[in-house]
Amino acid sequence: RMQSSRSKLCSCPSLKLREVVSMYLTMVAAFLVILVVALQGSAPRQSDFPYKVPLDPQGLLELSWNVSYPQQAVHFQLLIRELQFGLLFGMSDRGEFENADLAVLWSDGHNSYFGDAWSDAKGQLHMDSQQDYQLLEAHRAPEGLYLLFRRAFSTCDPKDYLIEDGTVHLIYGILEKPVHSLQAINTSALHGGLQRVQLLKPNISIPELPSDMKSMEITAPDVVIPSQETTYWCYMAELPEGFPKHHIVMYEPVVTAGNEALVHHMEVFQCSAQFDSFPHYNGPCDSKMKPDRLNYCRHVLAAWAMGAQAFYYPEEAGLAFGGPGSSRYLRLEIHYHNPLVFKGRRDSSGIRLYYTATLRPHDAGIMELGLVYTPVMAIPPGEDSFTLTGYCTDKCTQLALPAAGIRIFASQLHTHLAGRKVVTVLSRDGRERQVVNADRHYSPHFQEIRMLKELVAVFPGDELITTCTYNTEDRSRATVGGFGILEEMCVNYVHYYPQTELELCKSAVDPGYLHHYFNLVNRFNDEEICMCPQVSVPQQFYSIPWNTFNRDVLKSLYAFAPISMHCNKSSAVRFPGEWEKQPLPSITERLREPVPRCPPSPEPQPAAPVPLNLGQLRRD
């Protein structure tokens, strides 16, 4: 535990009374900070941290946390298994050490300190004038050093990170040598990294589970994890012959002990019922030996990412699998992240499905919102924040949804590598009503099915509008929509009940209007560019000189041009109706951006670190 150390006042000649008083008050304030930390009674017990994730690939740093919505705060517990001379832990926009919000533990080899700091655009550290990482406890245990600290979601400190729904990029850096001051820490020389999590987990009560519930593990048997940084591993599993219809009511990860830091995310896909059989396979997903037929296993049954817990379906619904019209074949896909290139590590991870033969009132369905996979939607190169929007229009929901509507309970956002932000909004009668799901720090490397904090009711005539923001600053040519990893997508897979025939409700710009754009670009360019119908849309985008005019006109085109609507049944056939050259939905009232709630201001704490008594720290 922290102990306050006595400070000795040196006898200095000719001190003025004002200076003596000032020094005395500073010492009293510092002593009170230490005392508050040492006597803090609100530190949660170790069992009070339901969420846990390894920060580093070796598992030497383990973060646990809980979320208090009444207090609007997160409590962190950080276990440091092998403490050297300190640690940086914090949050930043995309996982960089520049412009980061940090809690820092450091030692000069004799004395240890904890403080709230921030880094500037060059990565230089500064003590924060507002100490918002509140240290509650520090103690040693046989397994390592535990640090417990608290942080409000919003602090209204311009140097602090706003903790909000969606992905949070956590960063860490290990101090391997003693440092004599915070400013002496060189962030560019640190041994560190990042971990992505959803910090603000929804506060959902666990539904009652059926008494006849059974479980099934879909796991890859005894895989030798390849000694390379990134591997996608595919394994084919098979349901028993004649397996009748069941409802999946929950699922959870099965991660081989010791591999918690290597298993990044996992998904179980059901294969298409159009094929009677699928070949067995157990190997890398990108191998030339992988049978092509496995590409027809795309219907998501379960998805888990590091830091996620068990996923529960609402009591009224379950995800159907088995029975007539349903394939017996499943594909497990595991993403191994092995940056330290461990060799010979064996793994049998996967997902455990819990299911019941007692069917619930509703089948759950999955609907795709956003943009159609087509090259007509493109992003110019060199853009730091370019938006594309896909629409599920009132005309489609009016036709395809039941009168009582549907209830969305979970959502999985998806883009490829340039995606930075994804937001889906529900609009009714031209007015934005509520956010379905938003991730303002979205990462394509961290995709999970997330339970929503509350059910979202969607009725016939409602509109669902999905906007994706992209960054193409590292690209020299246009990025077009498509299936390739260097092409782009903008998708929200919403999980809802009751299941309807509507499986896909997406849009793209009208191709005729895009052709007018190409003609306009051709007329305004000095050099002759072939914008001919026989040249493919991607080739036409690749040949555009991306000056300001061409960029702005493309943005304007996407903002006003009619759209081609895809209002599709599960058979990939559109509902009957006229779906080409549809007008964009008219939005007359936007949702207001939420204003961060500032916590009540405590007594101002001095911008000084808290001294800790951790004993002599390790010297190599």
- List Cβ neighbours of 548 (8 Å cut-off, separation of 6 or more): none
Whether residue 27 lies inside any domain: the answer is: no
Do 337 and 451 fall into the same domain?
Answer: no
pLDDT given at position 96: 96
CATH number at residue 244: 2.60.120.310
Domain-ending residue, one of 169, 201, 233: 201
Whether residue 553 lies inside any domain: the answer is: no
Do 329 and 215 fall into the same domain?
Answer: yes
d(CA 354, CA 61): 31
Quick one: CA dihedral 481, 484, 485, 489, positive or negative? positive
> What are the backbone dihedrals phi and psi of residue 30, each rounded to the nearest 5 degrees, phi first?
-65, -40
Whether residue 12 lies inside any domain: the answer is: no
Asked about 191 being catalytic, the answer comes back as no
Do 226 and 289 fall into the same domain?
Answer: yes
Q: How far is CA 530 from CA 368, 462, 478, 518, 534, in A?
A: 35, 42, 16, 9, 10
Contact 51, 33 (CB under 8 A): no
Q: In what order do the strands lie in the sheet with 386-392?
A: 386-392, 463-470, 419-428, 431-439
CATH number at residue 411: 2.60.120.230
Do 97 and 194 fall into the same domain?
Answer: yes
Single out the catalytic residue among 126, 337, 414, 445: 414
- List Cβ neighbours of 21 (8 Å cut-off, separation of 6 or more): none
Contact 234, 291 (CB under 8 A): no
Do 225 and 192 fall into the same domain?
Answer: no
Number of domains in the chain: 3
Scored b (16 or more CB within 10 A) or e, 577-605 reads eebeebebbeeeeeeeeeeeeeeeeeeeb
Q: How far is CA 417 from CA 138, 442, 474, 490, 553, in A?
A: 39, 11, 11, 11, 25
Of 70, 177, 93, whose CA–CA distance to 617 is shortest?
A: 177
Whether residue 536 lies inside any domain: the answer is: no
The separation between CA 149 and the C-alpha centre of its own chain, rounded to angstroms, equals 23
Domain-ending residue, one of 201, 228, 250: 201
Do 346 and 374 fall into the same domain?
Answer: no
d(CA 442, CA 468): 10
Whether residue 250 lies inside any domain: the answer is: yes
pLDDT given at position 529: 60
Do 569 and 467 fall into the same domain?
Answer: yes
d(CA 471, CA 479): 10
Contact 55, 172 (CB under 8 A): yes
Whether residue 31 lies inside any domain: the answer is: no
d(CA 254, CA 269): 16
Asked about 414 being catalytic, the answer comes back as yes
Do 295 and 414 fall into the same domain?
Answer: no
d(CA 596, CA 591): 15
d(CA 102, CA 391): 39
pLDDT given at position 593: 83
CATH number at residue 184: 2.60.40.1210
Of 600, 542, 538, whose CA–CA distance to 73 is shortest?
A: 600
Collapse the DSSP code of 343 into the 3-class scheme (helix H, G, I; strand E, B; otherwise coil) and give the result. coil
Q: DSSP letters of 433-501?
A: EEEEEEETT--TT----EEEEEEEEE-TT-EEEEEEEE--TT-SS-EEBSSSTTSB--EEEEEEES--S
Do 214 and 317 fall into the same domain?
Answer: yes
Do 259 and 150 fall into the same domain?
Answer: no
Domain, as residue range, for 461: 365-513+562-592
pLDDT given at position 15: 41
- Terminal-to-terminal C-alpha distance of the chain: 25
pTM: 0.85
Domain-ending residue, one of 181, 201, 221: 201
Single out the catalytic residue among 232, 281, 513, 542: 232
d(CA 478, CA 480): 6
Mean pLDDT by 10 residues, the chain (620 residues): 34 42 44 39 65 91 95 96 94 96 94 95 94 94 95 94 96 95 92 94 89 96 93 96 96 94 92 93 94 90 86 95 94 93 95 97 95 96 98 98 97 93 97 97 90 96 98 97 89 95 96 94 72 82 94 97 94 89 94 79 69 64
Do 348 and 416 fall into the same domain?
Answer: no
Do 343 and 490 fall into the same domain?
Answer: no
**Tokens representing residue 510 in the block:** 């009208």
